[in-house]
Structure 1
Amino acid sequence: MCRWLAYTGNPLQLETVLFNARHSLIDQSLHSRLGYTTTNGDGFGIGWYGEPTDIPFRYRCIQPAWSDRNLREAARAIRAPLFVAHVRSATDTPSQETNCHPFRHGRWLFAHNGLIRNYPAVRRDLMVMIDPDLFPSIEGSTDSEVMFFLALTFGLELAPVTALERMVAFVEETGRKHGVDEPLNMTVCVTDGEQIVAVRYSSEGQSRSLFHSTSFHHLHELYPDDPRIAAAGENAFLVLSEPLADLPGWWEEIPESTVVVARGGQIEQYPFRPQSA
């Protein structure tokens, strides 16, 4: 369906993970190994934090990521301490720029892989719950953007994990009212430029793939001559749909129904339990 990654650490050139890695995100857009779809060519987006830091920068495009020459130039030019990148495979909604991830509101970025099942049937009930003050900021028509604004409605800016748990519970309750047995499948990432919160969850317990990097300090010891690891620093962290390279000890799969929070070099992992607001 989609492939995405998020990075935090020393300022890193975006092309390091978007183009230069053996199984880079651009390679995944053409040849996904673990995705529901092999090709993810219905647009792409990158979001990154720099100066000023209050609102992240963003570049989205409807073209396939592998054919956009401007993306290659931008990825070569941009160095950032935190960024999110996404390649899209559309489901129930059209290929258009406003449907490309990551979505943005204030300091926050949101990216999603998966779907709300039978979304056209439940869309109205979901959108009615969104805070009226937030509603004018919705630009596109995807289930992903609705999930983001529901999470904002449920307090994402104050308590991200709790807000995501409440969002998921509401989506599942709404779907089941409409006769959908397994309403939601998702891996999601939200960030405010200081922390990355990533969740792997699905109603059926068979979520899309999601991995995170192991300790970069440990990786320095395993691969002391790898310049990519040295550039990232010992506190770097990557969470992503598919590993970028086949290096033993580099990646750890995130279990089902799990949330990972990365902030300031600290990585915490908790069970993810949807709860009604």
Structure 2
Amino acid sequence: MCRIAAYHGPAIPLENIIVRPRHSLLSQSQHATEAKLAVNGDGFGIAWYAPHSAEPGLYRDVLPAWSDGNLPSLCRMITAPLFLAHVRASTIGETSRANCHPFTFQGWSFCHNGQIAAFPALRRRMEAALPDAHYAARRGTTDSEMLFLTLMARGFADAPAATLRSVLTEFAPESDAAPNRVTCVMSDGQSLLAFRHASDGKAPTLYLSGTLDNGGRAFASEPLDGESNRWTAVPLDTLVVLRDGQVAEYPLLAQAA
């Protein structure tokens, strides 16, 4: 499974989240403590938003995060008020730059940890359902990118909670099939949105920080300071929206109401 970290608040160097904390995303790439795999070495990526640009900057590579000598320098020099970062342990799709997260589309960025269990069987139907613009935007072969483009095509930008409800219900596995496990963080450049869902109740971890010392807040697969009592687990089947320091929650499924 992969690891995710994201930040929203006053502009800070990316290294304050990705590199410098005791249990930073870079540390988690080799020493994850709340995942089946401790090592996430199948590529990494960062998407960040500048104040006057609708499209995020994007840097991705197939190297393990700890092997890219450019990453610490970039994270020290790039300052942003909102960014997402991801280190990958692949489940579906080969190790390639096109399959590294975050994925982007029309100003949105998206990171995923988990899998759509029946994706090989669903893939052709999901591809056929994409409008031409979304289909043309697809570059890789992962269930993650397909989930992202499906959400975008179904109207997530205008009605995020309702779109999630519809898509998660449509692709729910049969009762005796392998479970879907989906933990995601995404952004339109104004808000951070996060959710966790699993058809067996065992979604990959994701936490929300309290207010950090610079006034911002962060999502992370594992608490960046290693102290879980300072972070709150994102509830299952709930869309959590972070904007301007405020948090709103929207139940996704009936049992979460």
TM-based fold match above 0.5 = yes
Quote how far apart the aligned CAs of 1:180 are.
6.2
User: What do the CA deviations read for 1:110-168 (whole angstroms, capped 9, x no partner)?
Assistant: 11000011322221122222122311010000000000011011102212222222221
Q: Which amino acid aligns with 1:200?
A: R
Report what 1:272 is aligned to.
252
Matches within 5 A, 1:1-277: 1-172=1-172, 175-176=173-174, 181-214=177-210, 216=211, 229-230=212-213, 232-233=214-215, 236-247=216-227, 249-273=229-253
| Cα displacement string for residues 34-63 of structure 1 (whole angstroms, at most 9, x for unaligned residues) | 012111000000000015421110000000
Corresponding residue pairs, total: 254
| Partner SS, residue 200 of structure 2 | coil
Distance 2:96 2:228 in 1: 38
Distance (whole Å) between structure 2 residues aligned to residue 63 and residue 4 of structure 1: 16
Identity of aligned residues (%): 37
1:4-58 superposed Cα distances (whole Å, 9 cap, x missing partner): 0110000011111111100010110001000121110000000000154211100
Aligned equivalents of 2:130 and 2:171: distance in 1? 12
Distance 1:182 1:267 in 2: 33
Structural RMSD (CA)? 1.6
Alignment partners' CA distance in 2, 1:49 and 1:152? 19
Distance 1:15 1:266 in 2: 23
| TM norm structure 2 | 0.94
* Amino acid in the other structure paired with 1:251: W
TM-score normalised by the chain length of structure 1? 0.87
> Could you say which structure has the larger radius of gyration?
1
How much has 1:240 moved relative to structure 2?
Answer: 1.1
CA contact (8 A) 1:6 1:82 kept: yes
Q: Deviations over 1:175-234 (max 9, x none)?
A: 43xx863441010111101011100111111111111012x1xxxxxxxxxxxx43x22x
Q: What residue identity is the alignment partner of 1:185?
A: R
Distance (Å, rounded) in 2 between the aligned partners of 1:248 and 1:110: 24
Conserved 8 A contact 2:61-2:97: yes
> What CA distance in whole angstroms lies between the structure 1 residues aligned with 2:180 and 2:104?
22
Moved more, 52-61 or 252-261: 252-261
Query: Measured at CA, do residues 77 and 180 of structure 1 come closer, stay the same or move farther in structure 2, by a change above 3 Å?
Result: farther
For the 8 Å contact 1:161–1:197, the answer to whether it is kept is no
| 2:66 partner SS | helix
Q: Partner of 1:225 in structure 2? A: none
Equivalents in 2 of 1:111, 1:184: separation in Å? 16
Which structure 2 residue ranges, 5 or more long, are not aligned?
A: none
- Structure 2: distance between partners of 1:54 and 1:270: 26
CA distance in 1, matches of 2:94, 2:77: 30
